[in-house]
Amino acid sequence: MLVVVGGTLGYHWIEGWSIGRSLYRTVLAITTVESPSPATRTGQVFTVVILFAGVAAALYTFTLLATLVVEGGLPRHIERRRRARMLDKLTDHFIICGYGRIGRIVAKQFARQSVAFVVVDRDPAQIDQARSDGALAIVADASSEDVLMRAGISRARGLIAAVGTDADNVYTVLSARVLRPDLFIVSRAATEDAGVKLKRAGADRVVSPYAIGGVQIAQTALRPAVVDFVELATSSDNLDLAMEQIAVGQGSGLVNQSLLDANLRQRFGVIVVGIQRHDKRMSFNPEPDTIIGGGDKLVVLGRPESLKRLETEAGRNG
């Protein structure tokens, strides 16, 4: 703009041209478009100055814009927009609050089983790690209701509270329960006292990594074959055998049938290990005459493709 204004006034004073003609000649000079030379020697020298100044200004402007595009906020802005669109499209996903040791293991298991999830952590370094691992992540405080809304809690399947401290987990669980009274929430607890508080705050399940680790060590020492079988059945890497829970819809053809009449082993090649009733009561190794109810969850063992077929049948209206 300085070159344009200066050039226009310069030609007006030197050549005596009108402002309009001076502006026109300045623009021609800046853009290096060929045009008739000024009549006076002074005007010609001034044209040379305008040409150099115009080219320099153009190069400077181009360099500045390139710097803003490459090193400035444009790539980050585009990436933020992309993540926002992905968050808006997420449905039936899990919100993992915290990407420490526990959060990373949970995210890894979800990724192996193709379960949608989003990570929320206030530590930028943890979020960078999550994104480098291929996860959708938000740098924010997971206990904030606004943040949970951004993470799509209204469309979420469940929430994992695994932030740094038990107090933070309590606040996160409270915020999530207020927003979604029906949401399934699992929380990590470091102490037994914290586990009680987390359940009061609204957590459906509270897991203590230290307690589970101790039990696992003891069971491995006492019953290694049993532990090996359970790990084989529940591992996401196993392609031959899997243990899964299958929800029975209210309109499914399996409702009000006994296990014997449903003939699940012959029809689908699965073994029913247990049944969790709609009131959360668990029946292990059910008898053949046990009736399947709507809303029950069948704990079954079988091949992944057999479990998929049973899941389809259980969710299909009769």
Whichever domain contains 309, its CATH number is 3.30.70.1450
Note whether residue 303 is domain-resident. Answer: yes
The answer to whether residue 74 scores a pLDDT higher than 80 is: no
CATH code at 135? 3.40.50.720
Distance of CA 2 to the CA centre of its chain: 48
Are 200 and 297 contained in the same domain? no
Note whether residue 48 is domain-resident. Answer: yes
CA end-to-end span of the chain: 75
- Give me the pLDDT at residue 153, please: 94
Are 170 and 207 contained in the same domain? yes
- Give me the pLDDT at residue 37, please: 65
- Give me the pLDDT at residue 235, please: 67
Q: How far apart are CA 178 and CA 293, in angstroms?
A: 30
Are 23 and 60 contained in the same domain? yes
Are 193 and 264 contained in the same domain? no
The more confidently predicted of residues 84 and 106 is 106
The more confidently predicted of residues 234 and 196 is 196
Are 172 and 276 contained in the same domain? no
| Residue position matching structure tokens 């790990």 | 231
Note whether residue 49 is domain-resident. Answer: yes
pLDDT band at 317 (very low <50, low <70, confident <90, very high): low
What rounded mean pLDDT belongs to the chain? 85
Q: pTM score > 0.85 for this model?
A: no
Element of type H or E holding 273: strand 271-276
- Give me the pLDDT at residue 239, please: 58
The answer to whether residue 284 scores a pLDDT higher than 80 is: yes
Note whether residue 251 is domain-resident. Answer: yes
Are 157 and 187 contained in the same domain? yes
For 160-195, how does the pLDDT look when each residue is reduced to its tens digit (9 = 90+)?
Answer: 999 988 999 999 999 999 999 999 999 999 888 888
Are 101 and 58 contained in the same domain? no
The more confidently predicted of residues 109 and 67 is 109
Q: Tell me 247's DSSP state.
A: E
The more confidently predicted of residues 43 and 318 is 43
For 185-230, how does the pLDDT look when each residue is reduced to its tens digit (9 = 90+)?
Answer: 999 998 888 888 999 999 999 998 888 888 888 988 988 888 887 7
Are 187 and 277 contained in the same domain? no
pLDDT band at 29 (very low <50, low <70, confident <90, very high): confident
* Average pLDDT of span 262-290: 88
- Give me the pLDDT at residue 52, please: 76
User: 177: exposed, middle or buried (C-beta count within 10 Å: 0-12, 13-18, 19+)?
Assistant: middle
Note whether residue 28 is domain-resident. Answer: yes
Are 94 and 209 contained in the same domain? yes
Are 203 and 102 contained in the same domain? yes
Q: What residue type is 314 in one-letter code?
A: A
Note whether residue 79 is domain-resident. Answer: no
Q: What's the domain range around 150? A: 90-213
- Give me the pLDDT at residue 11, please: 76
- Give me the pLDDT at residue 318, please: 57
* Average pLDDT of span 135-154: 92
- Give me the pLDDT at residue 237, please: 64
CATH code at 51? 1.10.287.70
Q: Give the rounded percent of residues in the chain with a pLDDT score beyond 70.
A: 91
* Average pLDDT of span 76-90: 79
Cβ atoms of 122 and 139 within 8 Å: the answer is yes
Among 213, 229, 257, residue at a domain's last position: 213
The more confidently predicted of residues 68 and 309 is 309
Q: How far apart are CA 206 and CA 196, in angstroms?
A: 9
The more confidently predicted of residues 240 and 274 is 274
Are 180 and 282 contained in the same domain? no
Q: How far apart are CA 185 and CA 204, in angstroms?
A: 5
Question: Domains in the chain: how many in total?
Answer: 3
For 2-15, how does the pLDDT look when each residue is reduced to its tens digit (9 = 90+)?
Answer: 888 888 888 778 87
Least confident span in 62-66, 100-104, 105-109: 62-66
- Give me the pLDDT at residue 49, please: 80
Are 57 and 108 contained in the same domain? no
Segments in the chain forming alpha helices (H)? 2-14, 19-30, 41-70, 74-89, 101-112, 124-132, 145-150, 166-179, 192-201, 209-222, 224-234, 259-262, 264-268, 304-315
